[in-house]
A and B are shown apart, each in its own frame.
Chain A
Amino acid sequence: MPDAAANFDQTILPHLDAAYNLARWLIGNERDAEDVTQEACLRAFKFFDGFRGGDARAWLLTIVRRSAWTWLRSNRRHEEAVEFDEELHGGIDVSASPEVSLIRAGDVDAVRQAIATLPAVFREVLVLRELEDCSYKEIADIAGVPIGTVMSRLTRARRQLQTALSTQPQSGGLS
C-alpha cells in the first residue's frame, strides 16, 4: 500500500511548477515565493483528506493563492494588498480599444517588467490565463470570484499591459 507521502508526491507535486509560478508572480521575489509555496504545499498535504479527487492543480493553486494573499497582506504596502474593488473602479471599459502597437512585445524583460507593475488582482488572472492556461471557470474557482469578475479583470489587465508595452522607452536594458 503506498503511503500518504507517496500519494502526495504523485498527485500534488507534479503541479509544483504551476504553484511556484503563481506564488512567484504574486509575491515578486524568489525567497518569499519559495516559503509561501512550501507552506501551501504542506497545508495541501495536511488537508489531503479533504481533496475529493478532481482537478489537483486547481486545488493546489487555490491554496497557494490564499497563502500568497496572506503574505501580501502582512508584508506589502496597503494598496497592493487591498483586493480590487470592481464597483469603485468601474466595470469593463468598452470604449474603442486604444490604438497601441506592442513595440516592446519581443523583449522578454520588458514584458516581465510590465506584468510586474500590474496590480496583484490583475496579475493573478493574467498569469493563470496566459501562463497556466486555466479556463475562466477554473480562475473563478481559484480566485473565489464570479466569472464576470474574471472577465473584467482580464480585460483590464490586458489593457494595462498593452499600454505599458507601447509606452516604455525603446532603448536601455531593464533587468
Chain B
Amino acid sequence: MNCEQVQKLIHAHHDGELDVANTLQVDEHLADCPSCFNAVRQLSALRGALQDSELRFRAPTRLRSSITAAVEQAVRAERPAVITRPWYRQPAWSVAAVLLVACVLTLQVSFRRSDDRLLAELTSSHVRSLMVNHLYDVASTDQHTVKPWFDGKIDFAPPVKDLRETGFPLLGGRMDFLEGRAVAALVYGRQKHFLNLFVWPSASSSPAELRATQRNGYNVLRWSDGKMNFGLVSDLNEGEMREFVREWAAK
C-alpha cells in the first residue's frame, strides 16, 4: 500500500472498522512511514481531546419529567379509543409482544455471550467486505475455480456451489477471520444485493437447525450440516435468504 491508499483507510483503521487483511497492510505501512504514522497519532490525540465527559450534554431533569408527564397524558387521552378495539389490536399488547421478544433476545444474549460475539463478527465481516471493496480475493463465477483457490490457504476444503440457476450467482471467494480462525467466505449476488456465506468446520458432528437473527439491520442465518458451520449474512430479506439455504441444501 502507498501513502495515498493508507490515508484513505486510516480513519476506518482508527475506528476499528477495517477488515483484518487491510488492517495488517495499513499496520505494515505505518511501521515504515513516519508521515502516515504521524497522521494516526494526530487522530489519537484528537480522540483523546473528545473523550472529555464534559463534552457530552446530559438531558436536564426537567426535560425527563416533562416527557414522562406528556407521555402519561397521551396515554390517558388515548384510552377511550383503545377500549373499542379487539384486545390483540391494543397498542399495549403489541408493545408487550415487542418487549417479550426483546426480553427473550436479551436473555439469549446474556446466556450466550460467545454466540453474540460470533453474530457481531459475522455482521462486521460482511460490512467490512462491502466497505473497503474487498469482496473477493478470487473473482470467479465458476465453482471449479473458486474451490481449488482455497487449497493451501485454509486447513479445510469448503463446499462451493453455484446457485446461478436459482438466481444466486456465485461471484467469488475470499479468506476471512472469525473467532480467531481462518474461514472461507463465498460471495453470492442477488440482483443488487450481496450475500456473504461464511463456512468453517463444525466442532460437533450433529447438524444444527437454521437460526435467523438480525443485527444492525442485516439478516444473519446460521446452520450446520454436521460437517460445516454456515453463516449467511446480507441486507437481503429473510425470505429470499431462506430460499438460498433451501437451494444450497438441495444442490
Contact = CB atoms under 8 A, between A and B. Distances in A.
Interface residues of B, number: 57
Contacts of B216: 55, 135, 137-138, 141
A158 B11 contact: yes
B49 A102 contact: yes
Contacts of A11: 99, 102
A46 B75 CA distance: 10
A82 interface: no
Nearest to A105: B49
Q: What size tier do the contact residues of chain A reach? A: 35 or more
Contact of B95 (A49, A95, A135, A136): A49
B92 A4 contact: yes
A21 B49 contact: no
Contacts of B102: 11, 53
Nearest to B89: A49
B6 to A, nearest CB: 9
Interface in B41-76: 42-43, 45-52, 54-60, 62-64, 66-68, 70-72, 74-75
Given A13-B67, A16-B67, A136-B17, A2 B50 contact: no
| Interface class of chain A by DSSP | helix
State the majority secondary structure of interface residues on B: helix
A161 B45 CA distance: 12
Interface string A62-103: 000000000000000000000000000000101111011110
Contact of B50 (A24, A97, A111): A111
B56 A17 contact: yes
Nearest to B54: A108
Contacts of A2: 92, 96, 99
Nearest to A15: B59
Contact of A9 (B57, B59, B68, B74): B68
A159 to B, nearest CB: 10
B216 to A, nearest CB: 5
Contacts of B8: 92, 94
B59 A17 contact: yes
A173 to B, nearest CB: 15
Contacts of A33: 57
Contacts, number: 162
Contact of A94 (B7, B57, B124): B7
A106 to B, nearest CB: 7
A41 interface: yes
B245 to A, nearest CB: 22
B214 interface: yes
B65 to A, nearest CB: 11
Contacts of B63: 16, 20, 34, 37-38
A1 interface: yes
Given A1-B92, A49-B91, A34 B60 contact: yes
Contacts of A94: 4, 7-8
Given A13-B67, A111-B50, A97 B98 contact: no
Interface string A13-42: 100110111001100001001100110011
Contact of B96 (A1, A95, A105): A1
B105 interface: yes
B26 interface: no
B46 A162 contact: yes
Contacts of A130: 47, 50-51
B59 A105 contact: no
A129 B49 CA distance: 14
Given A37-B59, A38-B66, A7 B99 contact: yes
A19 B59 contact: yes
Interface string A140-169: 010000011001001100100110010000
A70 to B, nearest CB: 18
A154 B11 contact: yes
A105 B45 CA distance: 8
5 contacts: A1-B96, A9-B71, A105-B45, A154-B11, A165-B49
